[in-house]
Amino acid sequence: MEHPAAPPASLTRRRFRGAAAATALGAAWSARRAAAAPPRRPNVIVIYTDDQGCVDAGCYGAKDLATPNLDALAARGVRFTQFYAPAAVCSPSRAGLLTGRYPLRAGVPNNVGDKNGLPGAEITMAEVFHAAGYATAHIGKWHLGQAPDTLPNAQGFDHSFGHLGGCIDNYSHFFYWSGPNRHDLQRNGEEVFHGGRFFPDLMVEEASQFIESHKDSPFFLYFAMNTPHYPYQGDEEWLRYYRDKGTPYPRDLYAAFVSTLDTRIGRLVEKLTGLGLLEDTIIVFQADNGHSVEERAHFGGGDAGPHRAAKFSMFEGGIRVPAVISWPGQLPEGEVREQVGHGCDWMPTLVELCGVTPPDAALDGKSLVPVLRSGEAPTPHDVLHWHTGMGPRAQWAVRRGDWKLIGNPVDPVHPDSLTRADELFLCNLAQDIGETRNLAGEHPERVKELKALHEAWLSEMPPEREG
């Protein structure tokens, strides 16, 4: 993919750091922007859900799920049907979202551990908006590093509340894994304790306080929900609702958690409405990757619809995700876009919509503003790339037009469905949306073309490092 030269008004990393410490941008920059900028720039809220299947919302056709608030958000905005996460797993997906760059380029090839995280040299959305005078907050899951220079407050967020690891129990706020188990709830780098309080409720309370405190000036809020990621801990009333309907296990557990997250999104919107801020706020909603079929997720519950596989996979079920953007009165309402979009696109899209200075970095994302304005606008991407993991067995994919090639594919839903003959898996999505047949043997020239694109792209990437 080609990377356009950075615009003349863009800021370098050093200037972003300086701007983050200042109370305002330079007078010359302000004067240059004043004529075009509205009296007040819009607020921005990015809602990122965790392990939500690509059709798991009523507005995406799920007839067995109650998601009235997500459905209302889609009715007030633009909903995408071919939207891709930057990765099929948590950390790299979040790195792509926050930087507008492919996760491999941003230095996050896989889930991060205790040692590494999002490199400090990367410019995040939070830094971009902070430099433009926005108050910035991260609330929820981080999963981009636990070292001091990788924490949210070091990555452009004025305020941070949530957990640093990949998941927590929603009541004890402990990270339960292979041990030693640890308490993982922090506010601005300091451990805090709210034992017994439901984490999604704590998130809404923290976000509401942040919004209230900054209701008179623009703010950027990254609302990174840990739902419906396991452990499935939905509201009791939603569990009863689905069990009374006869929803089978484990769909009942998952569905209750999806409706639980939907309720919290509704409360966030209610806060905006009560303060008269809804029409002044851009809301982006996206899932980080497909649904999980891990043991801790009861081996499923989510739904990829006609798409193959789930989280961890480069098949569509792992990377195609629900995505909606709403800005009442400024963007179309109740419209659907079939053009291809990507999680890295939100950085340039929001920069353009808000009229703020873009980062001085090679962005892989493309502005979706033309597509948002018109359903007739062309898809902004000629080629898309994914790459997760390290070494020769890393899983990767490239899509050009309707053709998609996957290297070293995995299918956690049907792990025995792939053989050595499928190490390069070619499909045409227009003809086989379920990726049921490997066409590599029938179209060797297409395989050669797409593999060459991947190898050329890979040669541009920085050296891989362990997470």
What tokens does 189 get?
């780098």
Q: Are strands 43-49 and 281-287 parallel, antiparallel or unpaired?
A: parallel
Task: Provide the angle, in degrees to the nearest 10, between the axes of the packed helices 346-354 and 90-99.
Answer: 30
Active site residue 167: no
Of 54, 59, 90, 354, the active-site residue reads: 90
3-state secondary structure the chain: CCCCCCCCCCECHHHHHHHHHCCCCCHHHHHHHHCCCCCCCCEEEEEEECCCCCCCCHHHCCCCCCCHHHHHHHHCEEEEEEEECCCCCHHHHHHHHHHCCCCCCCCCCCCCCCCCCCCCCCCCHHHHHHHCCCEEEEEEECCCCCCHHHCHHHCCCCEEEEECCCCCCCCCCEECCCCCCEECCEECCEECCCCCCCHHHHHHHHHHHHHHHCCCCCEEEEEECCCCCCCCCCCHHHHHHHHHHCCCCCHHHHHHHHHHHHHHHHHHHHHHHHCCCHHHEEEEEEECCCCCCCHHHCCCCCCCCCCCCCCCCCCHHHHECCEEEECCCCCCCCEEEEEEEEHHHHHHHHHHHHCCCCECCCCCCCCCHHHHHCCCCCCCCCEEEEEECCCCCCEEEEEECCEEEEECCCCCCCHHHCCHHHCEEEEECCCCCCCCCCCCCCCHHHHHHHHHHHHHHHHHCCCCCCC
Euclidean distance between CA atoms 182 and 162, whole angstroms: 14
Please classify residue 462 by burial: count the beta carbons closer than 10 Å to its beta carbon, then call 0-12 exposed, 13-18 middle and 19+ buried. exposed
Phi, psi of 325 (to 5 degrees): -135, 140
How far apart are alpha carbons 44 and 281 in whole angstroms?
6
143 part of the active site: yes
The answer to whether residues 121 and 352 touch, using CB atoms and an 8 Å cutoff, is no
Instruction: Please say whether the beta carbons of 43 and 275 come within 8 A.
Output: no
Active-site residue, selected from the candidate residues 143, 159, 173, 381? 143
Q: Which positions are annotated as active-site residues? A: 90, 143
